[in-house]
């Protein structure tokens, strides 16, 4: 037997946009950085010299269908 009681007055409390906006901006920045390092960090567009980042994300490039060679 269930002890759950249906309460039609129970509603979720909305979260103010002011509390969500910083987290959305942070997540967006991380996403853009991740896409840069996976998709463009090699050769002429490299910010970090050498092929360390390229080798680190190499399998991820192929998994996401980014060409790299």
Whether 45 is in a domain gets the answer yes
Q: What is the overall mean pLDDT for the chain?
A: 82
> What is the rounded CA–CA span in Å between residue 30 and residue 49?
21
Q: Helix (H, G, I), strand (E, B), or coil: what is residue 58?
A: helix
Domain membership of residue 58 as a residue range:
37-69
Whether 66 is in a domain gets the answer yes
Whether 62 is in a domain gets the answer yes
> What is the rounded CA–CA span in Å between residue 5 and residue 33?
47
Whether 8 is in a domain gets the answer no
Q: How many domains does the chain have?
A: 1
**Which of the four pLDDT bands, split at 50, 70 and 90, describes residue 47?**
confident
What mean pLDDT is predicted for residues 28-53? 81
Percent over 70 (pLDDT), the chain? 91
> What is the rounded CA–CA span in Å between residue 65 and residue 20?
32
Whether 43 is in a domain gets the answer yes
């Amino acid at each position: 037997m269930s002890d759950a009681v249906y309460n039609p007055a129970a509603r979720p409390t909305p979260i103010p946009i002011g509390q969500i906006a910083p987290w959305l901006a942070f997540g967006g920045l991380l996403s853009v950085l991740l896409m840069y390092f996976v998709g463009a960090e090699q050769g002429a567009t490299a910010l970090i010299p050498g092929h360390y980042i390229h080798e680190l994300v190499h399998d991820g490039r192929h998994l996401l269908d980014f060409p790299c060679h």
